[in-house]
Chains A and B, each alone.
Chain A
Amino acid sequence: MIRKALWLSATSAFLTLFTINGHAEDRVVNVYNWSDYIDSSIIDDFTKKTGIKVVYDTFDSNEILETKLLAGGSGYDVVVPTANFLARQIQAGVFQKLDKSKLPNLSNMWDVISERTAKYDPGNEYSVNYMWGTVGLGYNVKKVQAALGTDKVDSWDVFFNPDKLAKLKDCGVYVLDSPADIIPATLKYLGLDPNSTSPDDISKAQEALLKVRPYIRKFHSSEYINALANGDICLAIGWSGDVFQARNRAEEAKQGVEIGYSVPKEGAQMWFDQMAIPADAPHTADALEFINYMMTPEVIAKSSNYVLYANGNKASQQFIDKAILEDPSVYPDEETTKKLYTVAPYDPKTQRLITRTWTKIVTGQ
């Protein structure tokens, strides 16, 4: 009897081993994307359609993603860095070239966006656009009206003019903790080249930012979404889609908080989040299938409708909610588009200067 029991447990152990092996052959794709950046039903649909299991993991800063990629062996198959980070990572040898024969949906992409992303990834050899947006001003309509006597926020002047910002100090001002977004905007406001790496220009930007520093409550790259939505602050320099999420949350909360977003008339930075495959990705074929699926017009439109960012897929536009497609702060009209600029990645020396300048601005040291 005992012998039989042993035999049975040995068999079941063997069978377990076998099934584990069986699982290992299941197709998997490990995706690493920004937090709050996809409609989760898209992932379920992808698994249903292809049988490929998606292990979805999120980050909230390019720096974290970059450090994991540079250390190597991250185990991710699809990652979504912003284009200026991507450019440097391509140079470091982080990514593999995409096998375009496996990506038939590339024909859906929008040349207006592809031309711009080619500045970071020549020939778009390594990456495909996921979403893009602008860096602009998010504001609490009623509080700004009360403080400034106008609800027309259409210029960087509201932030860089110390007299105006001083009036907003008490209701609260947040700024992205991201020098690569704020310093180019400052240069643009000063009428200088946003891509300038000259120490003189950067010190001018520092001077302009130090003038308004006393009126800024906090530098942070994600807290402003809730702070805007709850009415804790009245102005934030932020990413377009984040401000729209704050607007929607405020509407859902029904506390009478009304959030606006504007692309300043002096011009604003345009950024691109790009899907790419690390060179050491364990499941390249599944990763390509995932990226191709994300380029299906209906799928990426569903994602845009959810996250409120514009995407680089021309064919998807017929499936995007009219309210989003016709909102010039999401899909800017031609005139605004002309004023949008892109920012190239910094070389290590300039990067150090920018980080040091930023520490000086943020901490006063």
Chain B
Amino acid sequence: MANIAATAAPSTDTAATLPTRLAKGFVDRLVIIVPYLWLLFFFLVPFIIVFKISLSQTAIAMPPYTPVLDFTDGISGFFTGFRELNFDNYTWLTQDALYFNAYVTSLIIAGISTILTLIVGYPIAYGMARAPATIRPTLLMLVILPFWTSFLIRVYAWIGILKPEGLLNQLLMSLHVISQPLVILNTYTAIFIGIVYSYLPFMVLPLYSSLEKMDYSLVEAAQDLGCPQTSAFWKITFPLSLPGVVAGCLLVFIPAVGEFVIPDLLGGSQTLMIGKTLWNEFFSNRDWPVSSAVAVILLLVLTIPIMFFQQAQARAQEQGK
């Protein structure tokens, strides 16, 4: 503080404000540092640990892998460890089509679910944004309300609805819509229903926030000039809500790729998703190194395309200006 006071002294006119301005700068930087520290401790450090395990070998021990890069033997031990690093676990993943198929299936299931969630979520968000301002908080509350019940219980409830003797089949049969119960539980359809239902709020909330901010007088102007309602929607409303669409889709797609609970409870045994493959490696094979390698690849599969996508978007925005 003494230093700051000394440097601040010469410029007499700003002498009073500079320390406060500096203090403000410090607070600003602190505000930025907090999320970076958060990322460092809760993303980077765990990722490095996982990456480290992925380069080791299994062992019958506690924990069940050979230590690599151990500092207890001093610097020389560290370098011997360095030489022992190997990427066998990654080559292993390429030798069995199982892993590739699991990644692809997961991406396809997550992709279809994301599109379905968008189709279901957009009208909801649009309806909310266009609703009278007085009831919007209530509608928002209704979207958030399911979070008050455990995710697991809500997915379990779907078993009761979808099973052969479940609520849906009983209803349809009593209405004579169908004569045989529909087989939905333990199929891909059930997984889609589960994901769309569980992740809907993550789609609706960002869509709602971008639609609510939109200046509706633009649409009114278009209509005044004779633009039909549907093309006004596609030419004005939808492009303006794109940031919400992108945010919503990412929020649904990313967790859906690694989804484990929904396919386990609602899906059939034949469903091969990366979450289950990871579980098998970790729990059934007790192969922590290979399961870590699967996790590292999953992270790369997800983050690299998203990084390119964001860069392309930033570039497009700059060109737009």
Contacts and interface: CB of A to CB of B under 8 A. Distances in A.
Interface residues of A, number: 34
B289 to A, nearest CB: 11
B165 A232 contact: yes
Interface residues of B, number: 28
Nearest to B272: A363
> Main SS of the interface on chain A?
helix
B190 to A, nearest CB: 12
Contacts of A352: 285, 287
Contact of B270 (A61, A94, A358, A362): A362
Interface string A69-94: 11110000000000000001001111
B62 A94 contact: yes
Contacts of B58: 348
Interface stretch (A11-19, A211-219, A240-248, A267-275): A211-219
Contact of B268 (A218, A351, A365): A218
A93 B63 CA distance: 10
Interface in A230-244: 230, 232
B36 interface: no
B63 A365 contact: no
A69 B286 CA distance: 12
A59 to B, nearest CB: 11
Contacts of B268: 218
A92 B64 contact: yes
A359 interface: yes
A355 interface: yes
Contact of A93 (B62, B163, B269): B62
Interface in B168-196: 186
A359 B285 contact: no
Contacts of B64: 70, 92
Interface in B59-105: 60-64, 96-98, 101-102
Interface string B127-160: 0000000000000000000000000000000000
B286 A66 contact: yes
B278 to A, nearest CB: 12
Nearest to B279: A63
Contact of B63 (A70, A220, A348): A70
B98 A365 contact: yes
Interface string B24-67: 00000000000000000000000000000000001011111000
B191 to A, nearest CB: 14
Interface in A340-364: 348, 351-352, 355-356, 358-359, 362-364
Contacts of A218: 186, 268-269
Nearest to A180: B284
A365 B282 contact: no
A93 B284 contact: no
Interface string B257-293: 0000000000011111000010010111111000000
Given A93-B61, A232-B165, A364 B283 contact: no
Nearest to A362: B269
A21 interface: no
B280 A91 contact: no
A217 B185 CA distance: 10
**5 closest residue pairs by CB, A with B:** A63-B283, A363-B272, A219-B269, A355-B284, A362-B269
20 contacts: A63-B284, A66-B286, A67-B286, A71-B63, A91-B60, A92-B60, A92-B62, A93-B61, A216-B269, A218-B186, A219-B269, A232-B165, A351-B285, A356-B96, A358-B284, A359-B272, A359-B280, A363-B269, A364-B270, A365-B272
Given A92-B61, A348-B287, 10 more contacts: A63-B283, A67-B282, A70-B63, A92-B62, A356-B98, A358-B284, A359-B272, A363-B271, A364-B270, A365-B102
